[in-house]
Amino acid sequence: MHTKTIAQLAQGLRTGDYSSQELTEAYLARITQHQDLNSFITVTEHQAIAAAKQADAILAAGDAPFLTGVPIAHKDIFCTLGVKTSCGSKMLDKFISPYNATVVEKFNAAGAVSLGKLNMDEFAMGSSNETSFYGAVKNPWAIDCVPGGSSGGSAAAVAARLIPGATGTDTGGSIRQPAALCGITGLKPTYGRVSRYGMVAYASSLDQGGPMAQTAEDAALMLQAMAGFDPKDSTSVDCAVPDYSAGLNNSLAGLKIGLPKEFFDEALNSEMAATIEAAINEYKKMGAEITEVSMPNLKLAIPAYYVIAPAECSANLSRLDGVRYGHRCENPADLNDLYIRSRGEAFGTEVKRRILVGTYALSEGYYDAYYIKAQKIRRLISDDFNKALEQVDVIMGPVSPTPAFGIGEKTDDPIEMYLADIYTIAINLAGLPAMSIPAGFIDNKPVGLQIIGNYFDEAKLLNVAHQYQQVTDWHQQTPKGFE
């Protein structure tokens, strides 16, 4: 059963091939069997089985939502009622959420069964899932390599078929990059498409939740459940949610694909470039037209991002001070000592680094020189994408400059680690939707193709991805030992 997609599992539940309880117990057994991947922080076995029994009763009664009884899991950044929500940090190691995030509520309403909470880089800060308080997640394709981050636990669990689908969040590539490194499908929706209520904030103007699954069809089903306006989220956009599955089989004849020349420079691994080119050729066979586009300000994306994101992180994490919730040091001498030791003991190195950078960028005398300038660059980058998308339907390119790298390989060089997101960060600055789909392998390590679309045009992205998956089988490959 574990090799089936969400769409296949949902259909099997309806036809009575198996019950949700049987399905849930089978996945829970696989999670136990493959604990060495370290993909889960919390497994909610008892709650999952109870939810599965309830799903079976709803299925038996008829007229159940499509995802009823299908197991999933949530990145441990989504608040979940009565369950630890740690964000991969010692700071929240003992925090039990008193409410559900809107995304969690939506999946509950859709009938999905949550199996637990997935490992992640601490407060979503990282590109390798090595900054987690609970230890590094391993890539099922190469156990000595990283799965990507920050949604590495989600990507590894889906790739190893421990769950058929998972939620993730993307601030600068944190859905797409791990999806690419683990050979699964991951979608970052348009900023504002999915509610951020109850999703612990890293950088509020960049964060966006999205689905991670085996196929584009599954991503469409998950996004259908996740998307929609939420009055509890001031950044949520009030616009209609289309039927994401309706147009999956539309023809791609005449589709205009833009290739940014800035994506295919000397920074791109030559084997990676060849793999991406082979994927583009498949689209040519389906009748797509290829056009070169230019976005001259893309080279400024990383410096702009690493001013804006740390600045917002500095503000957001200021609430974690040992007073109201989170880790509290023992026997503080005074209030200042409480702040210093609680934060010093509970935050990891990367989180401290970004808080310091962000606080500096927002400080008097530097706000105009750094933060305001970075926001101006952000507008230029957005304008570049808007101009390109006036000429083409979608933009394509690599997700990552290289396949998965070794655990520990880049931990001593934060700049090198930041460059792992060189092809993804600009999309978050612009607020556009983008996704990664499996497009091949280099030395048995997966490669992802990135597809970028116009605002709120996720249906087009899913159609483009689904059609590619009808003529290739990269998305069906399973890591050795996890068949």
- Within this chain, do residues 332 and 417 fall inside the same structural domain, yes or no? no
Write down the pLDDT at residue 42.
Answer: 98
Q: Residues of the chain with pLDDT > 70: what percent?
A: 100
In a domain, 274, yes or no: no
155 found inside a domain: yes
Q: Evaluate whether 54 touches 69 at the Cβ level (below 8 Å).
A: no
Q: Give per-residue pLDDT as tens, 166-207.
A: 999 999 999 999 999 999 999 999 999 999 999 999 999 999
Q: Phi first, then psi: what are they for 332, rounded to 5°?
A: -65, 140
Average pLDDT over residues 64-88: 98
Rounded Cα distance between 73 and 163, Å, is: 7
Indicate whether 109 and 247 sit together in one domain.
Answer: yes
Shared domain for 204 and 345, answered yes or no, is no
Do residues 215 and 324 both lie within one domain?
no
Max CA separation in the chain (angstroms): 70
Query: Active-site residues: which are they?
Result: 75, 150, 174
- pLDDT band at residue 269 using 50, 70 and 90 as cut-offs: confident
Q: In what helix (H) or strand (E) does residue 75 lie, and over which residues does it extend?
A: strand 71-75
pLDDT in tens, 96-136: 999 999 999 999 999 999 999 999 999 999 999 999 999 99
pLDDT at 93 exceeding the cut of 80:
yes
Whole-number pLDDT of residue 24: 98
Is 434 domain-assigned? yes
Residues 6+ apart with CB under 8 A from 127: 121, 148, 149, 150, 173, 174, 177, 417, 418, 420, 421
pLDDT band per the 50, 70, 90 thresholds, residue 63: confident
- Do residue 426 and residue 354 come from a single domain? no
Q: CA-to-CA distance for 179 and 276, rounded, in angstroms?
A: 15
DSSP 382-444: HHHHHHHHHH-SEEEEESSSSSPPBTTSSTT-HHHHHGGGTTTHHHHHHT--EEEEEEEEETT
Confidence of residue 267 (pLDDT cuts 50, 70, 90): confident
Q: What is the rounded average pLDDT of the residues 327-340?
A: 96
Answer whether residue 446 shows pLDDT above 80. Answer: yes
* Same-domain status, 237 and 332: no
pLDDT band, residue 415 (cuts 50/70/90): confident
**20 and 133, same structural domain?**
yes
Mean pLDDT, residues 286-314 taken together: 96
Structural domain harbouring 158 = 6-255+398-476
Do 25 and 153 have their domain in common?
Answer: yes
Total domains in the chain come to 2
Ranges of H-type helices in 88-202 = 102-109, 152-159, 176-182
Structure tokens at 104: 């969690």
Do 134 and 89 contact (CB within 8 A), yes or no? no
Mean pLDDT, rounded, of the chain = 96
User: For 176, how many CA atoms within 13 A lie in the half-sphere containing its CB?
Assistant: 33
The number of helix segments (H) and strand segments (E) in the chain equals 15, 11
Q: Is the pTM value of this prediction over 0.85? A: yes
Q: Please, which pLDDT band fits residue 326 given cuts at 50, 70 and 90?
A: very high
348-353 long-range contacts (CB < 8 A, ≥24 apart) are 348/89, 348/90, 348/122, 348/131, 348/133, 349/131, 350/121, 350/122, 350/125, 350/126, 350/131, 350/414, 351/89, 351/122, 351/123, 351/125, 351/131, 351/313, 351/317, 353/414
